[in-house]
Structure 1
Amino acid sequence: MDNFQNNDFSVSQQSSSGTLQLEFRGSGSEYFRIWIVNLLLSIITLGIYSAWAKVRRNRYLYSSTHLGGSSFEYHGNAIAILKGRIVAFVFFFGYQLAFKLDPSMILGLSMMLMMVVVMPWLVWKSLQFKLYNSSYRGIRFGFRGTAGQAYSTFLLWPLLTAFTLYLLAPVFHQRLKRFQHNESRFGSTHFSFNAGAGQFYWAYLVGIGIMLAGIIVISVGFGSTVLALFAGGQGDKVNIAAMSSFGLFVFVLYMWMFAIYPIFLTLLQNLIWNHTKLGDHQFRNNLQWGRMTFIAITNILGIVCTLGLFIPFAQIRSLRYRVESLQLEVNGSLDDFIAETQEQVNATGEGMADLLDFDLSL
């Protein structure tokens, strides 16, 4: 669900109704200590500890995210996560090995087909694991989607998208988010998602239009200068100037392409969460692409200048802005809603008999 750990809720006030602002209380220095220990132990154990690292990381991020004075909790089991990673590694290694051992590629293609067939089921079980192991005020999240829906979402629509040369990419994206959000629940209260495919097409068109406009402006601005220098003569100074201008052109173009990601992220996250509800409660998202771009660029500069040591601080900066851009418009009392949900859960039970203790860890 656009990663619940990246979009959980926190408020600074209790209210019977109105807009409740989210809050993230984690700090870069605290997360750095978790990150560096996780990294070192994962390296020492050849990646085995990464499952426990994920549990430590998620528990910190969940506990740093608050709603109505209470934090979220993560209950994931490291052994279950390790199982998922072993399965993913076996599939990947088997796929690579099959093509090397069989020059006819029959074995490799058979392995590829098996991966395609099994992957939607694994993703479905992973979604169940992730949500069921997330809770708020003692109430678990859950995922009710069926295997058939998972195959339609993660197999049929990707194939259709590929066959149409990605013209159906916005439709696939809309179906994916509709499946994830509609089939998710908090206790016995279900989320809902009402954005249409046309709105996704519009977001994609706006993002692509901005990208192309920037490329045209940069190309016109630098292209004429570069061409003029190359055509002006063969002297060493001219060649150096031309190459310098061309290098600057490539750098500016690369930075523009990098800046496009926050624009797409802003358009899509606002679209997705502004059309998501939990029962009668409406989400509102107000990401600003200028702020997102500033955070993204300064994060990259920080990571480069510190040889990677700024990574945990960069992750916290980005996460804090994304979380605190999300609001919840409460229809009624939040405490009454939680109490009613708790009563419904106690009366009906969790009904998770078919849940595998397994996380693909995608």
Structure 2
Amino acid sequence: MLSGAAVPQAEPQVREERFVFTATGGEYFRIWIVNLLLTVVTLGIYSAWAKVRRNQYLYSNTRLASGGFEYHGLPIAILKGRIVAGVLFGGYYVAAAVSPVAALAVFAVLMGVMPWLIWKGLQFALHNSSYRGIRFGFDGSARGAYFHYLVLPLLAALTLGLLYPFVHQRIKRFQHTHSRYGSVPFSFDAPVSGFYKRYLVMALVLFGGLGLSIVAAGLLVSALGVPVAQAQAAGAMIGLFLVYPYLLCVLWIFYATLQNLIWNHTQLGPHRFRSTMKAGRIASIYITNTLAILFTLGLFIPFATVRAMKYRLECTSLLVAGSLDDIAAGQRAEIGAIGDGAADLGGFDLAL
């Protein structure tokens, strides 16, 4: 009797899959120290191979829903990008030493070519990353890159930075909405108001803290009875001592809140990301990392890298609507139909 009636479709079950990061500081230290020594010995040439070794280790230790990530970048492509970057930025510093006019001309060239380089870098980074054997990709156009990385920043500069939160939102939207996993696109729906709110809070906290630091430095100079002739220099040094750690804390907290905003409004097909980083926790991690790096003369860097990455990644999860296996199976079928010998994009990694 009901054969002609529409059968309601059940909503796909949503489950949370958290990212897991299994790298350790000791393992990464061995990779890092060898990379550092070989990079120094080869006057920087080995840095491209070092990046590949580092990324292969970090990617292979990042897992989601029992699936692993891989990095496929070629050292020669990375080296090519670094040579280009070295020539461009080196040329600017040489021109600046020659004359302001020459520096301005080279700067104009840099401004003109930088969006294209960023565009190729995005293509390279995503094309050479994969999950469960399926590669990511970036389909944004060069025209879009010039609009988002040249035109919009110039407009922000003309408004003395008032448009920067808007520009930031547009850049993230450009990056996320033109990225894909196989042929499944990402989407991004964070509102501009969310960016303005976070920038405004950061500005208020930052400038309020700077004002309090200046007042505190002045009171401390007076309490110590510093002679008038040396009071200004002493106040500046005390103020710097107070301001620098505070500035770093504010920026780290801002980073956490901004990352939550960005990833909580990003989707992969029907699957939504969730980020739960805590501002206080990320600040404490970076503060202790910085102190440990200073006290160990830099030897704690690989341990600090793993510690920070572990927290950031494991605060991120994917709310899976249905099954990720369906996506992977569909992508493998598509790859099998067109062949697995897709040519490299021919891009390079600028390593910005």
Structures share a fold, TM > 0.5?
yes
TM-score by length of 2: 0.89
Q: What is the deviation of 1:279?
A: 0.4
CA contact (8 A) 1:226 1:246 kept: no
Measure the CA separation in 2 of the matches of 1:106 and 1:48: 32
- Stretches of structure 1 that go unaligned for 5 or more consecutive residues are 1-14
Distance change (3 Å), C-alpha of 1:148 and 1:351:
farther
CA contact (8 A) 1:269 1:285 kept: yes
Q: Does 1:176 align with 2:171?
A: yes
Which residue of 1 is the match for residue 316 of structure 2? Answer: 326
Which residue of 1 is the match for residue 139 of structure 2? Answer: 144
TM-score by length of 1: 0.86
Indicate which of 255, 265, 271 corresponds to 2:255.
Answer: 265
Q: Which amino acid aligns with 1:108?
A: A
Which residue of 1 is the match for residue 21 of structure 2? Answer: 24
Q: Which amino acid aligns with 1:115?
A: L
Q: Does 1:48 align with 2:38?
A: no
Summarize deviations over 1:143-201 as a string: whole Å, max 9, x none: 00000000001110111111111111111111111111011000000001111222101
Q: Does 1:76 align with 2:76?
A: no
Q: Does 1:159 align with 2:159?
A: no
Q: What is the deviation of 1:225?
A: 4.6
Q: Which amino acid aligns with 2:298?
A: G
Distance change (3 Å), C-alpha of 1:245 and 1:160:
closer
Q: Which amino acid aligns with 1:62?
A: Y
Indicate which of 176, 180, 197 corresponds to 1:202.
Answer: 197
CA RMSD of aligned residues (A): 2.6
CA contact (8 A) 2:121 2:347 kept: no
Measure the CA separation in 1 of the matches of 2:236 and 2:96: 41
Map 1:1-362; keep pairs closer than 5 Å: 17-101=14-98, 103=99, 105-221=100-216, 223-227=218-222, 229-230=224-225, 250-347=240-337, 355-362=345-352
Number of residue pairs matched by the alignment: 340
CA contact (8 A) 1:142 1:184 kept: yes
Q: What is the deviation of 1:100?
A: 3.6
Distance change (3 Å), C-alpha of 1:55 and 1:16:
farther
CA contact (8 A) 2:18 2:65 kept: no
Measure the CA separation in 1 of the matches of 2:262 and 2:40: 37
Identity of aligned residues (%): 51
Q: Which amino acid aligns with 1:18?
A: R
Q: What is the deviation of 1:82?
A: 0.3
Measure the CA separation in 1 of the matches of 2:342 and 2:95: 37
- Stretches of structure 2 that go unaligned for 5 or more consecutive residues are 1-11
Measure the CA separation in 2 of the matches of 1:320 and 1:222: 37
Measure the CA separation in 1 of the matches of 2:341 and 2:101: 42
Q: What is the deviation of 1:141?
A: 0.2
Q: Which amino acid aligns with 2:270?
A: D
Measure the CA separation in 2 of the matches of 1:349 and 1:196: 40
Measure the CA separation in 2 of the matches of 1:350 and 1:114: 38
